Amino acid sequence: MASPDGVYVSFVCAFKVLVVNKANPSMNVLIFIGIIFNYSGGVVASIIRINIDFIIGNLLVFYKTNSRKLKVMKKVLELKQQLGKTDMYLIDLLQKGYFDTSLKILDAGCGMGRNMELFSQLGHEIHGIDQNEQVIKRLKLKIKETNSSINPMNVGVGEMGDLPFDDGEFDFVICNAVLHFAKDVNHFETMFTDLVRVLKSKGVLFLRFVSSHTIENLADKFNTTLLLADESTRFVVDKYWLENTLISKLNLTNLEAYKTVNIDGKRSMTTLVLRAK
């Protein structure tokens, strides 16, 4: 009768052949069964040891291979949940320290609040306003259903050009992809001026809008509503005109270099970060 250790070694070898060598599975099974019938002593104990070693070994391999991946995936998921759909250029400003101290922030044209949640979580007092009453109703419902940190009392219906806030009320004003819905130059100037009005001294204004910058066929077409190549209708601003008129007139200072993204030659989105006097 073979010793238990001998049986164990034989079983380990046979089991590895059975699991690893897939070329002739029928022969592998016959070899394994043959070993079982040739060794009666310690067979059950050997099978148990084989299975335990095999399972533990594979679990250790799985853990070593995947534990780091799982940790990274968890951290990335947590970060994505925190950042949500916040505009990437606002995240850039966050990294640069623009939001390091407690601020009173306005998101003008807030929509469903995609740029509000993160700053509310960080402890800032953030207000949102949008001219679409139905959107504001949906946002308030979303805040309630998701247990958001946004104060629903701080969101409401309003229109740029007639913002329901006092002069110099906010440290930071966000106006993301809204100004290009201006009806004409006068409307654009009215909205722009109102955004500056509610800024505190040294307050910061963040703007993203459609511009003619880097679009060749718009070089002599700007400050008017146009049908763009992507079939959207937008008020297209010339950034040089803006700099030489409103920015200069309202004593605003550029805090960041102009950033313009050309979207396949069909549309340009320009980002400005300005400081009030």
Q: pLDDT tens for residues 58-70? A: 667 766 777 777 7
Handedness of CA 59, 64, 67, 72 (dihedral sign): negative
CA dist 39 and 254 (Å) reads 86
Q: Where are the domains of the chain?
A: 4-74, 88-275
Residue whose tokens read 């700099």 = 243
Which residue did the predictor score with more confidence, 186 or 79? 186
The answer, yes or no, to whether residue 152 has pLDDT greater than 70, is yes
Q: Determine the pLDDT at residue 70.
A: 77
Count of CB atoms situated within 10 Å of the CB of 271: 22
CA angle, corner 180, sides to 134 and 200, nearest 5?
85
Each residue's pLDDT tens digit, 85-99:
899 999 999 999 999
19-28, 45-54, 104-113, 116-125: the lowest-pLDDT one: 19-28
- The percentage of residues in the chain with a pLDDT greater than 70, rounded to a whole number, is 75
Please give the C-alpha separations between residue 122 and each of 18, 85, 140, in angstroms, as whole numbers: 57, 15, 20
| CB 209, CB 187: distance < 8 Å | no
Asked whether residue 140 carries a pLDDT value surpassing 80, the answer given is yes
Residue type, 206: F
> Which CATH architecture describes the domain 88-275?
3-Layer(aba) Sandwich (3.40)
- pLDDT given for residue 224 in this prediction: 81
Mean per-residue pLDDT, 261-277:
92
Q: Is 66 exposed, middle or buried (0-12, 13-18, 19+ CB in 10 A)?
A: exposed
Strands 267-275, 259-263: pairing is antiparallel
Q: Sorting pLDDT into bands at 50, 70 and 90, what band is 161?
A: very high
Query: Residue written as tokens 């394994």?
Result: 32
Q: Is the pLDDT of residue 25 over 60?
A: no
Q: How many CA atoms lie within 13 Å of 83's alpha carbon, on the beta-carbon side?
A: 15
Task: Render pLDDT for 227-258 as a digit per residue (tens, 0 to 9).
Answer: 888 888 899 998 889 999 999 999 999 999 98
Check: CB of residue 237 under 8 Å from CB of residue 212.
yes
Under a CB-based contact definition with an 8 Å cutoff, are residues 207 and 174 in contact? no
Give the CA count within 13 Å in the CB-facing half-sphere of 188. 27
Question: Residue 65 burial (CB < 10 Å; 0-12/13-18/19+)?
Answer: exposed
Higher pLDDT, 54 or 71: 71
Q: Which amino acid is present at 166?
A: D
Between 108 and 4, the higher pLDDT residue? 108
Contact between 99 and 93 (Cβ < 8 Å): yes
pTM (2 d.p.): 0.75
Q: What is the pLDDT of residues 163-178, one digit of tens each?
A: 999 999 999 999 999 9
pLDDT at res. 256: 96
